[in-house]
């Protein structure tokens, strides 16, 4: 997922869409992104949050419970692709921890 290049083909919205779609397909989930403008450290910034929901339970008009959720401040990144990539890395780590915990024997 990572790259030193801000954009690989110059079409950031398309790249973000492709990245999220690949993550959803790999993890059999849906990603919900939200952005809130908030005051932090004395200036306005966007707080981006990504939530993972079970794709079998996802319906756009219905409320679903997030399996995991992470947030980052946009001011810490240069591009939207950087924000989304960081969010997906953090979600991937959380999903891996969940899977690891499910595979542990009950006695551990």
Q: How many Cβ atoms from other residues are within 10 Å of residue 82's Cβ? A: 17
Q: What pLDDT is stored for residue 60 in this prediction?
A: 65
Q: What is the pLDDT of residues 14-72, one digit of tens each?
A: 999 999 999 999 999 999 999 999 999 899 999 999 999 888 777 665 566 667 888 99
Q: What pLDDT is stored for residue 101 in this prediction?
A: 83
How far is the first Cα of the chain from the last one, in angstroms, to the nearest whole number? 33
The residue assigned the tokens 């959380």 is: 94
Instruction: Check whether 84 has a pLDDT greater than 80.
Output: yes
Query: Shortest CA distance to 48 belongs to which of 18, 24, 70?
Result: 70
Instruction: Check whether 99 has a pLDDT greater than 90.
Output: no
Structure tokens at 50: 């990504």
């Amino acid at each position: 997922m990572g790259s030193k290049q801000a954009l690989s083909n110059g079409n950031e919205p398309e790249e973000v869409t492709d990245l999220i779609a690949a993550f959803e397909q790999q993890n059999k989930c849906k990603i919900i992104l939200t952005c809130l403008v908030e005051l932090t450290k004395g200036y306005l910034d966007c707080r981006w949050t990504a939530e993972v929901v079970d794709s079998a339970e996802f319906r756009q008009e219905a409320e679903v419970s997030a399996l995991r959720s992470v947030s980052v401040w946009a001011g810490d990144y240069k591009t939207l692709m950087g924000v989304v990539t960081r969010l997906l890395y953090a979600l991937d780590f959380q999903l891996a921890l969940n899977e690891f915990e499910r595979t542990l024997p009950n006695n551990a």
